A and B are shown apart, each in its own frame.
Chain A
Amino acid sequence: MPMRHVDPMASAPLEGGECVARIPGEAGIWVLILGEMSVFGLLFATFLFYRSKAAAQFAASQALLDRNIGMANTLLLLTSSWFVAGAIQALRRDLTTIGRGCLAAAFACGAGFVSLKAIEYSEKFSAGITIAGDDFFMYYFVLTGIHLLHVLIGLGVLAFAAMISVRGVANTGRMRVIEGGAAFWHMVDLLWIVLFPLLYFLR
């Protein structure tokens, strides 16, 4: 109830050029984003706890990961976030074509991430490594799998944002929905930025 008076769908917070301090998207989306980040925080802490009990075994399994694919995926997600930020800037100025183009580019990068992940998984499977392999690979498959699920949801969100990005979206409730979607995508990116060194590089 605390935010009823804000009424995010009806407000038009950015008057031409006027700078108003506010959080991007509707306030409610941050319940989802902060909730997701705390759950991933718990998952990361669990991983670190069990890793500390079998450091040598975790390191041996970690050496089997393909860091090149991991690095390529990191670059893809960072690039996609850059495109999403660009899309928000463009749509706030009603540069609809550029905005939608940026969203499409971000989507393409995200789809690239999914394809590389599929290649990475199938390489592991053909090498006989599965989710039941050992504790390290249990965490590898579960953590990257849950993250991948978020990437797929995020791709849906980006497609939805592009769908509702029509001319004159700036200063409307739709813009706040698009901003909320962008914030979700940045969260998916941020989680990978933590997950990547944790799984692939931590010694």
Chain B
Amino acid sequence: MSGRSQRLCVWLSLLFVVFFGLGLILPGFLPPTDPSAGAGEVAAMYRTHTQAMRLGFLLLQASSALTALFVAVVSVQLKRIEGAHSPYAYVQMIAGGCGVLVLLIPSTLWIAAAFRPERDPQLILLLNDLAWLLLTPTFACFCIQATAIGLAVLSDTRPDPVFPRWAGYLNLWVAVLSLPAGLIAFFRTGPFAWNGLISFWMVAIIFFAWLITMVVLLLKAIGQQEAGQSTGSPAVTGSA
């Protein structure tokens, strides 16, 4: 039973990818808006694509809430490693929960900008900046989340671990890699700006590769858990 609900959560959380993709494409955020663009240019963008932007930002909000499903299943599996006293599972869940807000709050500010696109272009620019820069805490939440997963996976000493050990190192790597996202606070142009090769494209590509890898590993871990329950404890299968 628990395996089935976990699978449901994992597969539903993949809708994140669909909503996130549409949520960026509809407002014209792929590639992201130019951080060095002037107020007139940015305000014009909000005036011309108003409806598509509003819809896109709502989809971004839906996508961010969906990550909660993924985060929860990761913690369920980490708890299998850690047992009753499971600090990593809780750290992962709290940091991952803050990660939900990291996208939710900027989308609301983008909606505020698209809500009255006729207002002073300088104010539109401010809202737009504020929304993009609210993505900076990603590096902090995501770093802690991936570190917790990595340490938990590496602490698994059973002969048949929940996750392969390389997944632990993968998460530690991703944790370090998320740090350059903080650089967007410093630059309006170049590879480290919020639309840059490193700060946006590299971080985004690695994030999605990580997400897909974790989904595959989670499904395998759930399968392993079910196999253990059906062979390991007859009482559970008897009642089920």
CA distance A36 to B202 in the complex (A): 13
Contact pick for B202, options A28, A29, A39, CB 8 Å: A39
User: Smallest CB-CB separation from B197: which chain A residue?
Assistant: A46
CA distance A155 to B166 in the complex (A): 22
1/0 per residue, CB under 8 A from B, across A84-98: the answer is 000000000000000
> What's the interface size class on A, roughly?
20 to 34
Q: Is the CB of B164 within 8 A of A32?
A: no
Assuming the contacts A31-B173, A35-B173, A36-B173, asked whether A8 and B165 have C-beta atoms less than 8 A apart, the reply is: yes
Assuming the contacts A28-B166, A39-B202, A131-B186, asked whether A7 and B159 have C-beta atoms less than 8 A apart, the reply is: yes
Q: Is the CB of B179 within 8 A of A29?
A: no
Q: Counting CB contacts under 8 A, is B231 at the interface?
A: no
Residues of chain A contacted by B179 (CB below 8 angstroms): 146, 149
Q: Helix, strand, loop or mixed for chain B's interface?
A: helix
Of the candidate stretches B16-24, B95-103, B187-195, the one touching chain A is B187-195
Q: Counting CB contacts under 8 A, is B148 at the interface?
A: no
CA distance A131 to B190 in the complex (A): 13
Residues of chain B contacted by A150 (CB below 8 angstroms): 176
Q: For window 174-191 of chain B, which residues contact chain A by CB distance below 8 Å?
A: 176-177, 179-180, 183, 186-187, 190-191
Assuming the contacts A138-B192, A142-B192, asked whether A4 and B186 have C-beta atoms less than 8 A apart, the reply is: no
1/0 per residue, CB under 8 A from B, across A112-138: the answer is 000000000000000000011001001
Interface residues of A (CB under 8 A from B): 1, 3-4, 7-10, 26-29, 31-32, 35-36, 39, 42-43, 46, 50, 131-132, 135, 138, 142, 146, 149-150, 153
